[in-house]
Amino acid sequence: MRMQSLPCSVRNTDCDVHSSDGCAVTRGDVDLAWYAARDKVWRDLGLAAPARRALVNAGILETAQLRDYTAEQILALHGIGKTALPALAPYLGPR
């Protein structure tokens, strides 16, 4: 799976959900405006915020990019769950 290189301040910022001081999003450690500027296509598909952040973190910003991925690869991204898959399935590559 090819992933875009992201600035250190952005990469995996929402993955620290099991730390002793709680979720990175709740703590305010995630620049939500940065994601909002990039995740419109995923918001329009009705994806939840963790799924949108997972796709943006992976550098997947357009539905056309999903054809390079299988469902298994997308499900492996932290933040993508089985509820996001039906919205993404029409755009995914061959299984």
Q: What is the DSSP string of the chain?
A: -------TTTTTTT--TTSTT--HHHHT-S-HHHHHTT-HHHHHTT--HHHHHHHHHTT--SGGGGGGS-HHHHHTSTT--TTTHHHHGGG----
Q: Which of 57, 58, 39 is nearest to 48 (CA)?
A: 39
94 and 71 Cβ atoms separated by less than 8 Å: no
pTM given for the model: 0.75
The pLDDT value recorded for residue 80 is 95
Render pLDDT for 43-93 as a digit per residue (tens, 0 to 9): 999 999 999 999 999 999 999 999 999 999 999 999 999 999 999 999 999
Render pLDDT for 17-43 as a digit per residue (tens, 0 to 9): 445 566 788 888 888 999 999 999 999
The pLDDT value recorded for residue 21 is 65
